[in-house]
Amino acid sequence: MPLLRDYIAEHERATNYGGEAVRALDRGEHGQAHELLVAMAEELRSHWLGEENGLFAVMGTDDLYAQHIAPLVQEHRELDALLESVDLSDPDDRDRVRKAVFDLHEHIAKEEDGLFPASLTALDGDEWDAAMSGWREAHPGKSMIGRG
């Protein structure tokens, strides 16, 4: 499914930036870590919009899935707030970044091992179209992987 492949590619880019940012922090290169976190935030903000207005909006009309989606959206907001306010000169914030990058992997696992496989059987053709149009609105001018 092209939409899921795009989401997964976005996850990989975001976690790569996050991992590199943590390694930069470990080396004491806070400027580089900051740049990597900016890149991660940029990747994630369009990703979150694409999920929340795409797949989550469509699946969330089902109460069963809505229960799983609400905490995922909450985690998006929490990480967004951290990325907005983070001060890498503060050791507590550096620890928060390390934990957030770790937690992001858990968040992604809940999507890739839970919600995404469930969507393959839950959604019909019109619902996939609606989910994909949510993604397109979040990524103006970009094409989905494998869809030219």
Please give the residue ranges that form the binding site for Fe ion (CB under 5 A): 111
Give the CA distances from residue 9 to residues 2, 28, 65, 90, 104, in Å, rounded to whole numbers and listed in that order: 10, 29, 23, 31, 14
Q: How far is the CB of 50 from Fe ion (least distance, A)?
A: 8
Token couple for 128: 């996939």
Determine if residue 145 is left, alpha or beta; phi over 0 gives left, psi from -120 to 50 gives alpha, anything else beta: beta
Q: Which two tokens stand for residue 42?
A: 């940029």
Rounded least distance, CB 126 to Fe ion, Å: 23
User: Which C-beta is closer to Fe ion: that of 25 or that of 69?
Assistant: 69
In the block, tokens 């469930």 appear at 118
Q: Which is nearer to Fe ion, 6 or 111 (CB)?
A: 111
Output the smallest distance, CB 8 to Fe ion, in A.
Answer: 8
State in angstroms the smallest separation of the CB of 116 from Fe ion.
Answer: 9
Residue with CB nearest Fe ion?
Answer: 111
- Residue at 92: amino acid letter: D
- By beta-carbon proximity to Fe ion, the closer residue of 105 and 147 is 105
Which is nearer to Fe ion, 94 or 107 (by Cβ)? 107
CB neighbourhood size of 146 (10 A) = 8
